[in-house]
């Protein structure tokens, strides 16, 4: 393979990663994700064959992803060591749990975990350990059983035990007792389930976190099943810096795709201009007619076990994380974080938990 051919395949792999990021951010049919996965697997042999062309210091997240996955999956120990160097560089660059760099790391590590090669996972786990307090998503990877690093100690103190109590026993006191700086995004999302259990203190706690963790809090409102909480989601449609995210979760909740209109009127005219905002009037009307305490809605209808299973089988991405949390809560199980898992793995986990294939599995695996 010539260097030109290698560059073309490497660039296509990086471009596919950017597409993967977009799909993950907005939620999408699982078949679109499968197409990206299949393209990666098609490109991997060619890029592996020219691993010496990988950049020594990849900077952009798409380059980090390609360099990490290819080098960690390479049969040469020296190239794998280069991959560990890339891993540390990427972790140093990750500023928060939603950073493109961390998404590149979690995606590449999970792909490497699926590799049949003898990879030094002990060394990789030890390299990741110092970063897990800032980025607990790393603790959710399906680390091999041969890894002896005490992964259970990677979470902020008391958090994993509190989540286990919430999800398996439906007891919320331990989670409510934790300070805000001990709450990961998943823990904040879980406060929506605490609210579902009837703990009134969870709502003001979520409201206090709404400016710093907007998307997670709006998702928590959605899965709480509480009318006063979904009212907060409705109000967020009118707040400029929250409106885009609120509209996405409102669509999942109500099934409504709201029209976007200019937000500012012109003096002396019926015309409007300025930044667009979602038209909240239809949302108000739908909420007044349909919202009810104790009912979690999905696309305009009360969520049932069958529709929850179908949603998890047909869709993928960050906006599906609330439903994944709700599934665990209903099944009294703590399962891997879907944000670091391939969609097919989630389907396999559901199959194992249910003893049968979830609805929508055929469309998600095609």
SS3 of the chain: the string is CCHHHHHHHHHHHHHHHHHHHHHHHHCEEHHHHHHHHHHHHHHHHHHHHCHHHCCCCCCCHHHHHHHHHHHHCCCCHHHHHHHHHHHHHHHHHCCCCCCHHHHHHHHHHHHHHCCCCCCCHHHHHHHHHHHCCCCHHHHHCCCCCCCCCCHHHHCCCCHHHHHHHHHHHCCCHHHHHCCHHHCCHHHHHHHHHHHHCCCCCHHHHHHHHCCCCHHHHHHHHHHHCCHHHHHHHHHHCCCHHHHHHHHHHHHHHHCCCCCEEEEEECCCCCCEEEEEEECCHHHHHHHHHHCCCCCCEECCEECCHHHHHHHHHHEECHHHHHHHHHHHHHHCCCCCCHHHCCHHHHHHHHHHHHCCCCCCHHHHHC
pLDDT level of residue 360 (50, 70, 90 thresholds):
very low
Q: Is pLDDT at 162 greater than 50 in this prediction?
A: yes
Residue 34's pLDDT is what?
83
Give me the percent of the chain exceeding a pLDDT of 70: 87
Q: Is pLDDT at 224 greater than 50 in this prediction?
A: yes
pTM beyond 0.75: the answer is yes
The first and second tokens of residue 55, run together, are 């950049």
Sign of the C-alpha dihedral computed for residues 141, 142, 147 and 152 taken in this order:
positive
Question: Which residue in 95, 40, 92, 93 sits closest to 70, CA to CA?
Answer: 40
Mean pLDDT to the nearest integer, 232-239: 95
pLDDT level of residue 41 (50, 70, 90 thresholds):
confident
Work out the number of other CB atoms within 10 angstroms of the CB of residue 221: 29
pLDDT level of residue 1 (50, 70, 90 thresholds):
low
Residue 161's pLDDT is what?
92
Are 86 and 58 spatial neighbours (Cβ–Cβ below 8 Å)? yes
The first and second tokens of residue 177, run together, are 């007792």
Q: Is pLDDT at 99 greater than 80 in this prediction?
A: yes
pLDDT level of residue 112 (50, 70, 90 thresholds):
confident
Mean pLDDT to the nearest integer, 124-139: 86
Q: Is pLDDT at 160 greater than 80 in this prediction?
A: yes
Residue 210's pLDDT is what?
96
Distance of CA 124 to the CA centre of its chain: 22
Average predicted confidence (pLDDT) for the chain: 86
Question: Which residue in 51, 38, 58, 40 sits closest to 6, CA to CA?
Answer: 51
Residue 98's pLDDT is what?
83
CA distance 134 to 147: 21
Q: Is pLDDT at 114 greater than 80 in this prediction?
A: no
Which residue has better confidence, 218 or 97? Answer: 218
Residue 281's pLDDT is what?
95
């Amino acid at each position: 393979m010539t260097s030109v051919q290698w560059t073309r395949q490497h660039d296509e792999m990086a471009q596919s990663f950017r597409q993967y990021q977009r799909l993950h951010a907005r939620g999408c049919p699982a078949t679109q994700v499968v197409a990206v996965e299949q393209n990666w697997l098609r490109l991997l042999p060619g890029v592996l064959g020219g691993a010496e062309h990988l950049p020594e210091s990849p900077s952009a997240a798409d380059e980090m992803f390609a360099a990490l996955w290819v080098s960690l999956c390479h049969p040469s120990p020296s190239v794998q060591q280069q991959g560990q160097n890339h891993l540390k560089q990427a972790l140093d660059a990750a500023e928060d749990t939603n950073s493109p760099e961390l998404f590149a790391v979690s995606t590449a590590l999970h792909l490497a975990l699926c590799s049949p090669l003898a990879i030094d996972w002990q060394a990789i786990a030890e390299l990741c350990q110092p970063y897990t307090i800032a980025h607990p998503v790393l603790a959710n990877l399906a680390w091999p059983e041969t890894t002896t690093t005490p992964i259970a100690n990677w979470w902020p103190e008391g958090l994993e035990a509190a989540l286990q109590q919430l999800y398996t026993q439906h007891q919320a006191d331990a989670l409510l007792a934790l300070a805000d700086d001990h709450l990961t995004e998943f823990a904040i999302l879980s406060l929506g389930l605490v609210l579902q259990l009837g703990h009134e203190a969870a709502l003001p706690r979520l409201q206090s976190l709404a400016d710093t963790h907007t998307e997670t809090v709006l998702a928590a409102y959605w899965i709480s099943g509480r009318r006063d909480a979904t009212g907060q989601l409705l109000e967020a449609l009118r707040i400029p810096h929250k409106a885009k995210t609120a509209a996405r979760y409102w669509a999942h909740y109500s099934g409504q795709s709201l029209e976007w209109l200019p937000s500012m009127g012109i003096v002396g005219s019926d015309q409007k201009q300025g930044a667009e905002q979602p038209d909240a009037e239809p949302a108000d009307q739908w909420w007044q007619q349909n919202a009810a305490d104790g009912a979690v809605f999905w696309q305009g209808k009360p969520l049932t076990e069958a529709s929850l299973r179908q949603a998890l089988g047909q869709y993928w991405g960050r906006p599906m994380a609330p439903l994944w949390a709700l599934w665990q809560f209903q099944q009294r199980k703590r399962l891997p974080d879907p944000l670091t898992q391939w969609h097919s793995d989630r389907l396999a986990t559901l199959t194992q938990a249910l003893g049968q294939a979830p609805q929508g599995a055929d469309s998600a695996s095609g």
